[in-house]
Chains A and B, each alone.
Chain A
Amino acid sequence: MKFSWSKLAVLAVTGALTGALTGALWGGAAQADTVKIGFNVPLTGFAAADGKSALTGAELAVEQANAEGGIDGKMIELLVYDDQASPKESVPIATKLATQDKVNIAISGSYSGATRAAAGVFQANGIPYIAAYAVHPGITRSGDFVFRTSFVGEVQGRAGAKLAGDILGKKRAVLITLKNDFGKSLAAGFKEAAGKFGVTIVAEYEYSIKDRQFGPIVSKVKADNPEVIYASGYFFTAGPLVSQLRAAGIEVPIIGQEGYDSQKFIEIAGAAAEGTIITTSLDRDSDQAETKAFIAAFEKKAGYKVDMVAASGHTAVMVAIAAMRQAGTTDRKAIRDAIAGLTLQASTGKISFNKLGEVRKNVQVQVVRDGNWRRHSVIDDPELLAPPTE
């Protein structure tokens, strides 16, 4: 017992050094003559489903660009690391991408916490970083090298209020809010714009991301008797929620958001999914060549129907590639400037960025019709959809 601890301490140091060494070796293994895009994404753990879609979308974008000859003749290489959607994992990964792999630009295919933590590292190292679908407001506030290709929650929430009050003409709303940064910021945006469209909020209920059984909330909503329900969530919470609301005999329109945007939602809710309306980024009935080509190519590559996360992963990588082509150099500052000034027709529509690095694009309103997501309408009010600027 007496000396075992010191021996173990020696072992610990040896172990750490071995780790450092192997890390260094792997870092050096990357090819020199490619353009490198870093990609942190959850491939294991609870967020693996979104991670897989985001990664497939990103890989598709790289394949497409390489087929066109890459960037100035150089092939693009996607360096992928699993961050388990955890800030604790994403910080070392970001450090590795920045200082060892020396990527030209990096993309987050991950959730808010992991992305927010990694953004600080990329900013400090002067490497452009694009969040594909993480919604945390602090991400772009990390600095001028950080961008986001998805809506912040507030913007989408405001669009939801317009959809409810203006487009559908429903005035008495109940909010069912997912208790995380996504749901909370959506609810904040909805409440902010509700008055403008004459919508009054009868009640708000909150649920945890782990909940799949909504019996008590459903009973209460039924008693509240609203004209419209604004429910935030992801397909795996929204599927059971919508089906339970309908089973209880609640017939009023249900408005969701991009978190619903997956074929899986329709599979889970079945017939109850019909008529559900969401605000999202992907228009299935778009006549834009980019969007049509993306949907076809994705479904061929992935073997399942396209979702919002896949389109977001694809768009973020497309932005990175377009900016590098435009900059014509691997200088990271020049790439950053190119992104800031970019206007791109991507799979999620025509996008550009404001001075904070937040995306400007139209909100696509989709509805479930005959078991598929179809176009309902488009919201293109630049004032309503203005992202935060500071």
Chain B
Amino acid sequence: MLAFELIVQGLIQGSIYALIAVGLTLVYGLLRILHIAHAALFTLGGYFGVLVTNATGSFGLAIVVAMVAVGGLGMLVYRFCYEPILARPPHVALIASIGLFIALEEVFRLVFGPYGISYTAPPLTATVVVASMNLKQAEIMVMAGVIVLIGGLAVLTRRTRVGIAWRATVTDPAMAQSFGVDVIKVRYLNFFIGSALAAAAGVMVALLNNLVEPTMGSVPSYKALAIIVLGGLGDVRGTLIAALALGVVESFGTIYLGTILDRDAIAFVFLIVVLMIRPQGLFGKT
């Protein structure tokens, strides 16, 4: 029974990881950038979620506002931060992204205060008993949300013209362009969707913890990188599975290895072992 609970808890955590990491892997797939500042957009999503909910009382509105606003900001980040340095060696974008991340965290602290903010009346706190396990509605919503958002993404990429253009651009940008795909538009769309997903994750984490701090993105900033590498860099399906797997590994690790290694170390042992066996990630192609 405990094992079942640990798996469910791991899946909840893994769902959060998935929402953050999918956006990151989308960016990587298209532009080969390790977009650390993605984690700052996740935090900003959390701030929007709490502020809009507290101001209007509507959690649904808060999610929409957070996703749209942060998605838009993601496009600006691409336009003003990454586009000018795309042709440079990969470390340039990496360090620029880190600088941006540090600066944004400090902006959050200066604007929203160092103590963090909370929902004054947190929604979805009622507990539901599922197979003798108490789950908050919010936790169920997180898992359902991941299925909806990522399912939607799958439909988008497989069934729509935009999605096909996007996949073509990922596979071969030059070829896609010669077939009339507007590569630049695809990139904007890519940043919008990735950032909006991160914002959704931010809103949900804010709800689970009832706390948004300026440093909320510090763990996702590096753990999401580990996840997209595990998933095979740029592979959405692989990232999704890697995120859920990592959530479950951490869940069991916390209980049975907690006094030997901390959560981060457990995650990275898993990563290193996988990479030594499969250097291209769990699902990457050689």
What is the CA–CA distance of A207 and B215 in the complex, to the nearest angstrom?
18
Question: Given A49-B116, A179-B262, A220-B255, are A212 and B218 neighbors across the interface (CB < 8 Å)?
Answer: no
Question: Do the beta carbons of B259 and A240 come within 8 Å of each other?
Answer: no
Contact B211 A249 (CB under 8 A): no
Tell me, in angstroms, the Cα distance from A211 to B218 when the chains sit together: 11
- Chain A nearest CB: distance from B241 CB in Å? 20
Kindly state whether residue A92 has any CB partner on chain B within 8 Å.
no
Per-residue B-contact encoding for A232-243, CB less than 8 Å = 1, 0 else: 000010011001
- Which residues of B are found within 8 Å of A264, using beta-carbon distances? 115-116, 118
Tell yes or no: A386 within 8 A of B by CB.
no
User: Which of the 9-residue segments A59-67, A152-160, A267-275, A352-360 touches chain B?
Assistant: A267-275
Q: Contact at B218–A240, with CB atoms within 8 Å?
A: no
Q: Any chain A CB within 8 A of the CB of B263? A: yes
How far is A209 from B156 in the complex, measured between Cα atoms in Å?
39
Main secondary structure of the interface of B (DSSP, over half): helix
Q: Do B122 and A213 have beta carbons less than 8 Å apart? A: no
Of the residues A51, A52, A205, contact of B254 by C-beta under 8 Å: A205
A3 beta carbon closer than 8 Å to chain B: no
Say whether A210 faces chain B, with CB atoms less than 8 Å apart.
Answer: yes
* Chain A, 151-208, CB within 8 A of any chain B CB: 179, 204-208
User: For residue B4, which residue of chain A has the nearest CB?
Assistant: A219
| Contact partners of A215 in chain B: CB under 8 A | 8-10, 12-13, 251
Bound state CA distance, A92 and B205, in angstroms? 38
Which B residues from 120 to 136 make CB contacts under 8 A with A? 122, 125, 127, 133-134, 136
- Residue of A215, A216, A249 with most partner-chain B CB within 10 A: A216
For B211, list chain A residues within 8 Å (CB).
Answer: 212, 236, 239-240, 268
Q: Tell me whether A26 is interfacial, beta carbon within 8 Å.
A: no
Specify which chain A residues have a CB less than 8 angstroms from the CB of B8 in the assembled complex: 215
Q: Name the interface size band of chain B.
A: 35 or more
- A16 proximal to B (CB < 8 A): no
Separation of A206 and B253 alpha carbons in the complex (Å): 11
Against A, the Cβ 8 Å flags (1 = close, 0 = not) of B27-57 are 0000000000000000000000000000000
Interface pair B210/A239, CB less than 8 Å apart = yes
**Are B134 and A249 interface neighbours, CB within 8 A?**
yes
Residues of B within 8 A of A207 (CB): 254, 258, 262-263
* Chain A contact patch, size range: 35 or more
* Any A CB within 8 A of the CB of B151: no
Q: Is A247 an interface residue (CB 8 A)?
A: yes
Asked whether any CB of chain B lies closer than 8 Å to the CB of A248, the reply is yes
Complex-state Cα separation, A218 to B254, whole angstroms: 11
**Residue of A44, A210, A213, A217 with most chain B CB atoms under a 10 A cut-off:** A213
Residue B106 at the chain A interface, CB threshold 8 Å: yes
Could you give, for residues 274-286 of chain A, a 1 whenever the CB lies within 8 Å of some chain B CB and a 0 otherwise?
Answer: 0000000000000
Per CB-CB distance, the 7 closest pairs between chain A and chain B, nearest first, are A215-B9, A49-B114, A219-B5, A48-B114, A216-B251, A212-B209, A240-B209
Interface residues of B (CB under 8 A from A): 1-2, 5-6, 8-10, 12-13, 16, 106, 109, 114-116, 118, 122, 125, 127, 133-134, 136, 205, 208-211, 213-215, 218-219, 250-252, 254-255, 258-259, 262-264
Give 6 CB contacts A-B under 8 Å.
A212-B211, A216-B251, A239-B211, A247-B125, A267-B118, A270-B122
Query: Which A residues form the contact surface with B (CB < 8 A)?
Result: 44, 46, 48-49, 51-52, 179, 204-208, 210-213, 215-220, 223, 236, 239-240, 243, 247-249, 262, 264, 267-270, 304
